[in-house]
Structure 1
Amino acid sequence: MSSISRVFSTARPVFTSISRTYSTAAESAVTGEGHYKVTQTRSLIGVPKTTIKVLKSLGLGRKIGRPVFQPHNAAAAGKILKVKELVKVENMAGPIPPEGFQRTRATKGYKVVGKMF
């Protein structure tokens, strides 16, 4: 070993690996009851077909402003990141609220009173 290589081997700084931990909502939801409340805010006109498929897989794409609840997991987080410009996301702790299951439907405009026959 030459004298130059000895100098470099002793002068090398020792880099210790600093372990960083990053927590996501999927990891922090230990009970598994957390959900993302995802609401579509923009239209799909002019959006690539792959992005439309991701929105459909999230349960969106039919009505703007209708919320959909997705569980905290890596798959849902990846889909949301893909369409982040088109949706609004809220982090919900606990179970899905009752209004999350209700779907709005327009009134028929008439009422059936009885049968003719």
Structure 2
Amino acid sequence: MSSVSRIIAAVRPTLTSPARAYSTQTADAAAAGGYFKVTQTRSLIGVPKSTIKVLKSLGLGRRIGRPVFQPHNASAAGKILKVKELVKVENMSGSIPAEGFQRTRATKGYKVVEKM
């Protein structure tokens, strides 16, 4: 099964529900449906501006290899299909793992020993 058909199969139950302008799902309700773990694998060099905007709306575009978690819904699936050549997608069930909340910072390269 290709990655596109897996994404569509995961979102199909939400595609048949009545459309709303804004989602009223809570985080717990979205966790019950599962998440997409989306990881950027390719650079944005030479990509059209519209594609860059879609990637930034997914929460990507800053670092290659950093995962973000999107709930299973039609808007997230549409965005993923727009940038499918630039990202790797995995289906996750249950709640978001701890790695989704951790953001690591690079070391400064120096250490403050003493203040004057």
Q: TM-score, normalised by structure 1?
A: 0.72
Query: Is residue 25 of structure 1 aligned with residue 10 of structure 2?
Result: yes
Matched, 1:41 2:26: no
Matched letter for residue 80 of structure 1:
I
Q: Which residue of 1 aligns with 2:103?
A: 103
CA shift for structure 1 position 24? 2.8
The higher radius of gyration belongs to 1
RMSD of aligned alpha carbons: 1.6
Any stretches of 5+ residues in structure 2 without a counterpart? 1-7, 15-28
* Mapping 1:41-80, distance limit 5 Å: 41-80=41-80
The separation in 1 between residues aligned to 2:109 and 2:47, in whole angstroms, is: 35
> Structure 2 CA distance, aligned partners of 1:84 and 1:67?
14
Pairs aligned (count): 92
CA distance in 2, matches of 1:66, 1:78: 20
Q: Note the C-alpha offset of 1:103.
A: 1.1
**What's the TM-score, normalizing by structure 2?**
0.73
Tell me how far apart the structure 1 counterparts of residues 108 and 46 of structure 2 sit (CA, whole Å): 33
Q: Which runs of 4+ in 1 moved over 3 A?
A: none
Task: Tell me the distance in 1 between the aligned counterparts of 2:35 and 2:114.
Answer: 44
**Deviation per CA, 1:71-111, whole angstroms, max 9, x where unpaired?**
11000000000000000000010111011111121112222
CA distance, structure 1, for counterparts of residue 114 and residue 10 of structure 2: 53
Q: Structure 2 counterpart of 1:90, which letter?
A: E
Q: Percent identity?
A: 82
